[in-house]
Structure 1
Amino acid sequence: MSSSTRNRRRSYALTYAGYIVAALIFFVPVLFMLWSAFRSNVDITGSIFNIATPLTLDNFINLFERFDFIYYIRNSFIIAGGSTILGLLFGVPAAYVIARRTIPGIGFSTLLARMAPGVLFVVPFFIMSMKIGATSNDALNFMVLIAAHLIITLPLCIWLLIPFYEEIPKSLEEAALIDGCSPMQRFTQVVLPLVTPGISVAVTLSFIFSWNYFLFALALASSNTMPLPVIAFNFIGQGSSDYGGLMAASTLISLPAIILTIVAQRWLVRGLTGGAVK
């Protein structure tokens, strides 16, 4: 066996070992969450690694008996869905202008809002919420929460879509101009179909990040607009904690994001790889 063959096999072995370690890091906590969701609180705290403990649906039953879980799922969909749709509505044309006008500084400045800690925005939004009476008006409260979550979704949409627009040759738009297309027609009929993979990435990541975000909902939501992540926080107390209920709630909270990722997997992989190639 030649030295080059040995080196190649060693390289393959190290690569697959890295894949296995990465899979363990990412999937073991998820599997533990799923397993613990079907175990009693005593079994979780007393025998974490005992696989012989019986499984039960009591955590999920108690979850729906204790909370109106469907109601909080609706609230999460309103907030995450609304902020994702508005983020796309403003971010798709904004990224196009930034890419075509070659002004990356604006794109980076929008990303700064995403990089800043969320606590910087909580106090201004809370004061605004109090001024307009959003704490006692569910519709206004949803609007405030969606506006706050735009800090997450809008910079993400803009930053993700800029590379996709930059890859589109300007000659395509010039050809459409010669054919008599207006600026709006060039954008909607020529450019947008070519950035569909990037839009799918922006939709998926924006929805997941908004769905899982905790701080804005904790500080700004009223009892009628409370989303799921804050409800899961109620299972942790100072004196005792319901770990089984917490794992059951976490499982249900994770399901929409997992389903969305599975459904959009084909476009997601294509978009993540396509936007990285010049």
Structure 2
Amino acid sequence: MSTDIVTRRRRRFAGVYLGYLIAALIFSGPVLFMWWSAFRHNVDITGSIFDITAPLTFENFTNLFDRFAFLYYIRNSFIIAGGSTLAGLVLGAPAAYVIVRRKMAGLGFLTLLARMAPGVLFVLPLFILSVNIGAPSNTALNFALLISAHLIITLPLCIWLLVPFFEDIPVSLEEAAMLDGCSVWDRFRAVVLPLVLPGLSVAVTLSFIFSWNYFLFALALANNDTLPLPVIAFNFIGQGASDYGGLMAASALISLPALILTIFAQRWLVRGITGGAVK
């Protein structure tokens, strides 16, 4: 191999890795800046943004828990995001299976329209429904309404993430199970679902993250007992002054569960691929 070819390959790989580095800085830079600012004084954030010599502090986090019942709002976020993710998966997995096997692409497109529409279109009808059923004064009803509202986000996402995985499963596998006397539900539960574990993992991860971070429905529909974390973080921004340190600390804590879930979902992805492989 000539020296010129080796040099060209090295330059090409250097260009590729440089592109990776630039992409990593673009995507991870704001996140790293958020975590760094969470440990800085508010005056340092507004006065000298990139001063690395400024002292670090845990004051933003301590003030966060002193000012708000932060653990209570974390629980609320888990109830809403977890409930909507679980409901979206329970309803979305059979729906995606039916759409694929019955070739009902039109029905799948209708569910996608709800995801494509801006969330503000649903706020007024949901608010009127909330008032009519007494949800503002009933914590359980309010949680149920918020979970149902977040299904607008999670259900279409689950369906359209799982459709390609169901399409890759040969019909012959289900036909073989049918010859053994398996019902439709048995085929779906024992044959199909183990083969789409990677898709289930992706659907759970993305649905939870989208629901966890969604702001609009909780702002309009939640009462004082059901407020989730994104609405609480909004309190750090005011007209006269803004607590950027507290906002960054709240944002860092809000992003932590989604980050942890993503890390664990990678293991489930690999396990699903090896456990559900067609042999």
TM-score normalised by the chain length of structure 2: 0.93
String of CA shifts for 1:112-141, please: whole Å, max 9, x gaps: 211111101111101100111111111111
Change (3 A) 1:129 1:106: same
Q: What does 1:17-96 align with in structure 2 at a 5 Å threshold?
A: 17-96=18-97
Residue correspondence of structure 1 range 109-128 to structure 2 within 5 A: 109-128=110-129
Greater shift after overlay, 183-192 or 1-10?
A: 1-10
The change in CA–CA distance for 1:109 and 1:15 in structure 2 (over 3 A counts) is farther
The 5-angstrom pairing of residues 113-262 of structure 1 reads 113-262=114-263
Alignment partners' CA distance in 2, 1:204 and 1:109:
23
Which has the larger displacement, 179-188 or 143-152?
A: 179-188
CA distance in 2, matches of 1:268, 1:249: 30
Q: Which moved more, 1:45-54 or 1:6-15?
A: 6-15
Aligned residues: 272
Q: Separation in 1 of the partners of 2:138 and 2:183? A: 43
Gaps of 5+ in 1: 273-278
Distance 2:188 2:86 in 1: 18
Q: Identity percentage over the alignment?
A: 74
Q: Give the Cα separation in 2 of the matches to 1:92 and 1:235.
A: 39
The CA RMSD measured in Å over matched residues stands at 1.6
CA contact (8 A) 1:91 1:158 kept: yes
Contact 1:201 1:267 in 2 (8 A): no
Are the aligned partners of 2:37 and 2:245 in contact in 1 as well (CA < 8 Å)?
Answer: yes
* Residues 77-103 of structure 1, C-alpha deviations (whole Å, 9 max, x = no match): 110011001001100000000011122
Q: Is the 8 A contact 1:201 1:271 kept in 2?
A: no
Question: What SS class does the counterpart of residue 225 from structure 1 fall into?
Answer: coil
Out of 34-43 and 15-24, give the one that drifted further: 15-24
Q: Which amino acid aligns with 1:245?
A: G
| TM-score calculated relative to the size of structure 1 | 0.94
Q: 1:58 deviation in Å?
A: 0.5
Q: Show the counterpart of 1:275.
A: none
Distance 2:240 2:14 in 1: 48
Give distance in 2, aligned partners of 1:253 and 1:227: 10
Aligned in 2, Cα 1:217/1:58: closer, same or farther, shift over 3 Å?
Answer: same
Q: Deviation string for 1:154-210 (max 9, x for gaps)? A: 000000000000000000001111111111111111001001110011000000000
Shift in Å, 1:4: 5.6
Alignment partner, residue 17 of structure 2: 16
CA contact (8 A) 2:197 2:269 kept: no
**Contiguous gaps of at least 5 residues in structure 2:** 274-279
2:277 alignment partner in structure 1: none
Task: Judge conservation of contact 1:113–1:155 (CA < 8 Å) in 2.
Answer: yes
Three-state SS of the structure 2 residue aligned to 1:165 is helix
Q: Is 1:106 aligned to residue 82 of structure 2?
A: no
